[in-house]
Structure 1
Amino acid sequence: MKPTLALTLAAVLALGVSTTSTTRAQDAGKVDFEKQVLPVLKESCFKCHEKEHEDGGKIKKPKGGLRLDGAAVIMKGGKEYPNENVVAGKPEASWLVKTMALPDSDDLAMPPEGKGDRVSAANIDLIKKWISEGANFGAWKGVE
């Protein structure tokens, strides 16, 4: 093989590897719903917003008809603001973020006083980023 051909081939291969590495690095910067967002929802939201179930002999229904334990139901939303719970690409239009970011004194603040710890600003920013990136659930389907 001629030296110039070998150098050209090496350069092309290096560009291919570089592009692949860059793509992986970019993907690595994306929010992983199952690893990063789901634990926040489990900790702060599932207590009131999961599938109807029996608890201590009583039937517990999701508050406001809003479930957060499955991908489809997260996107569907609740009785109020249907289809606006999570608006892919638009965290400012997503009620999930709006209610988490409200001050404690607001009646719509989530979770309400006595129902769990408020979501930290860092976790709200993480959820905003996930929504901005398109609200991708990956392989996670959750409860249907």
Structure 2
Amino acid sequence: MRTAPIMAARGLRAPAGVLVAAAAVVAFVAVVDPNEQGHYPTCPFLALTGYQCPGCGSLRTLHALAHGQFTDAVALNVFTVAMVPLLAFFWLRWTVARARGRPARTRAADPRLIWLLFALIMIFWLVRNLPFGAFLAA
């Protein structure tokens, strides 16, 4: 009977590892300010084209979130701010499944949802680089 808690603990290794890695990344970005020149490389897409990619501003967004500056984070990259709770939800769902001894889902999501997310990323990318979408590019 003692094998169930041991199996659950073993199943939690991967989610715990992801949590530790994510916390380490956020802690590093919180300490090493991406607003200061020379700490992080420039976005290759931005450097080559002069246009912002969907991820431009994400480091500064994480830095602002780590310091509790939610409005600044939204102004820097609203898409990143929207993805943080979504990623937390999927991590939590994975962790609960592992804690209950259930296997991880074999299918990530409905393909329509994946295509919807892809379309939203592409629309965000396009709009933030158009004159009327300048408020999305900080």
**Which structure dedicates a bigger proportion of its chain to helix?**
2
**Structure number with bigger Rg:** 1
TM-score by length of 2: 0.28
TM-score by length of 1: 0.27
